[in-house]
Structure 1
Amino acid sequence: MKRVLIIGAGGFIGGFMARKSLDLGYETWVGVRESTSRRYLDDARIKFLILDYDSPQALAEAFDSALPHGDKWDWIVYNLGATKVTNYSDFNRINYGYLKNTVEALKSCDKVPERFLYMSSLSALGPGDEKGYTPYTASMIPDPNTRYGVSKIKAETLLEMTSGFPWIIFRPTGVYGPHEQDYLMMIKCIDRHWDFGVGFRKQLLTFIYVDDLVDAVFEALEKGTVHKKYIISEDRAYTQKEFRSIVARALGKKFVIPVRLPLWVTKIASFVAEKYGVAKLKPSTLNSDKYKIMKQRNWSADISEAKANFGFNPRFSLEEGIKITVAEYKKSVDNKN
């Protein structure tokens, strides 16, 4: 039986990972803070490991005390990270610093696993081909233009420079599914008959349903090559109009009003929302970093390397994944009512 540790398991993706690991028959551990919600980690078979990411020493002590001397986790999935912050320095502290502390702790207590999968982001690569719409590839030279992307590249570079560390890096595109919040905001808008888009030039969007991402994680851990980076996405791109139509059909909405906001209006709105969030000490979904991401016109992705290396083959089209996501959204609305 494989022994798996999922670090950063309290969020949207982590719950699906834990469930998949259990379904595969693995001894499943989750690394969380004491304060982390366990809403999606309610299976009695899950083993909890309380971690203090700010201290390499505390991490090492937690790792060392969790398993008998000489025992290790076969696989570790590192899914910890911040996608929005109040202070941009927190991107570096959380996305880079916490990984650094974790790697140091695993090495110091001799708990380096057989494989360590790090969840990065397509944003780590920066803007793609905005004119010819050439898809992102795994071999592209990163040039991130957001502070979030920079923190992810720093984390990737740390792994690359750590001797004897068996890393695999995933760069997923936008992940959606039940319980995810950012795409849920878009679904709610369309449910109210409005669809807000940014910019007037064609934009290609890519998505990955959460179950497909989680399947890819365990396929890569089992069959993938270490010291490789993989782009994870559904194998096609969509326009905003196609996304709107798919969501509207799933919601049963026949009439949705598309609204296109000029980039300059979105930039101002992002700046104001960011400052409001700072004043309220609460991260804003709309901010200067997010504006740069929304501004990009090309998110198409080439997943051929993941296909060839460990047989990655997404099962869910956007239409199929949105049907499930919308069904869960409707159920939650009914329960509230």
Structure 2
Amino acid sequence: MDLCGRPGLAQRTDDGGLRKLDLNLLPVFAALMRERSVTRAGEVLFLSQPATSSALGRLRAFFGDELFVRNGRVLEPTPRAQALMDQLAPAMQAVAGAIAGSIPFDPATDTRTFRIGMSEDIQMAMIPVLPRLRKAAPRCRIIIRAATYRTIPRMLDSREINMAVGHVEDLPAAAKQRVLRRCGWRVLRDAESPGPVDLDSYCARPHMLVTPRGDLSGIADEELAKLGRSRQIVLGVPDFGLMPRTLIGTDLLCLVSEAVVDAVAALGGMEGLAADPPPFACPEAVTYMAWRTAVDQDPGEAWLRAQLIHHLARR
């Protein structure tokens, strides 16, 4: 401030810089820092590659620096770009949170798009829930993305999704989480096959494993190894949808969480199947809900979280 109480030269200069910069370029800059690729940054922001390249050109012109230099197929940030990101990230996070909290939400009339990452068992559990959400928010769009504990942190950090439901690990710093459900495990089998299974029969009979990655080892193998026992997995399937009908008419066993049993039952898939408690101790299966801190106060996102908690959390 000068002696007359007017803004000083430094403040006027800073304001002038902000007026000259198109603030829409900042999300592009942040996406380029995360993705290290013009194409992937554009996909995250739903921009074409030419539009993303144009935005990068404008950023370079404004800051007077290359910002990103190509290293093979990867764009490496310059020291100037890294310094900018260190300064801008907290401010962008604060602005996003302030804006989100000021946007009203009426599920009956709002037209926003919700993006949720979900593990496959949660996707199954969502099938009967989706019509209820559609009825409550008829003009909103809900996009469900397949996500695992390996991909959820990256998808939240890149803003591909605002929320995730499933097993989560190593969340980004700018994320929050809560436990949605804790449950045990059940051994599924054809109801006509012998059961309930004891430890000896569990180890002797063949097993099916739901294994999206194609490996043949699961939580049961870890617990059995502690007891000096093992099982024989003879069939791996990529998703839970194949599991119920595949068990019918066989002596196969399949260890799944109670959440999966509930999801299959809600879809009428438990007919002809029996669910026994496992004959050995297993740690709890924990389902988490995680979301970006930037949308923590967003009324729409808070409404959706409350809906999922109501419909999916075990009472």
TM over 0.5: no
Name which one, 1 or 2, has greater alpha-carbon Rg: 2
Q: Normalising to structure 1: TM-score of the pair?
A: 0.24
Which has the bigger relative contact order, CA under 8 A and spacing at least 6?
2
From the two aligned structures, give the one with the greater strand fraction: 2
